[in-house]
Amino acid sequence: MSPPVFRFAPSPNGYLHLGHAFSALLNADLARQSRGRLLLRIEDIDRARCKPEYEQAITEDLAWLGVTWEQPVRRQSEHFDAYREALGKLQALDLIYPSFESRGEIAQMVADRGDDWPRDPDGAPVYPGSRDSLSEGVRRARMDAGEPYALRLDMRKAVKLAGPLTWREAGRDAPEGVIAARPDAWGDVILARKDMPTSYHLSVVVDDALQGVTHVVRGEDLFWSTSVHRLLQTLLGLPQPTYRHHRLITDSAGRKLSKSTQSTALRTLRADGATPADIRRMIGLPEP
Ligand code: GLU
Query: How long is the chain?
Result: 288
Q: What is the pLDDT of residue 172?
A: 61
Residue 279 covered by a domain = yes
Residue 52 included in any domain: yes
SS3 36: coil
pLDDT by residue for the chain (288 residues), tens digit each?
A: 799 999 999 999 999 999 999 999 999 999 999 999 999 999 999 999 999 999 999 999 999 999 999 999 999 999 999 999 999 999 999 999 999 999 999 999 999 998 899 999 999 999 999 998 899 999 999 999 999 999 999 999 999 999 999 999 997 655 669 999 999 999 999 999 999 999 999 999 999 999 999 999 999 999 999 999 999 999 999 999 999 999 999 988 888 888 887 879 999 999 999 999 999 999 999 988
Give the global pTM. Answer: 0.95
pLDDT at 1: 79
CA dist 254 and 242 (Å) reads: 28
Residue 49 in domain: yes
Q: Ligand 1: distance of its center to the CA of 9 in Å?
A: 5
Q: What is the CATH number of the domain that holds 67?
A: 3.40.50.620
Q: What angle do CA 199, 205, 206 make, to 5 degrees?
A: 90
As a whole number of angstroms, the distance between CA 288 and CA 283 comes to 13
Give pLDDT, residue 288. Answer: 83
Expressed as residue numbers, the domain containing 12 is 1-78+250-288
Q: What is the DSSP letter of 157?
A: H
Residue nearest to atom 4 of ligand 1 (CA): 10
- The tally of domains found in the chain comes to 1
- DSSP labels, 57-96: HHHHHHHHHT---PSSPEEGGG-HHHHHHHHHHHHHTT-E
158: in domain: no
Residues with CB under 6 A from ligand 1: 9-11, 43, 204, 218, 222
- For residue 270, being part of any structural domain is answered with yes
- Cα of 10 vs centre of ligand 1, distance in Å, is 6
DSSP lists the bridge partners of residue 243 as 169, 216
CA–centroid distance, residue 11 to ligand 1 (Å): 7
65 occurs within a structural domain: yes
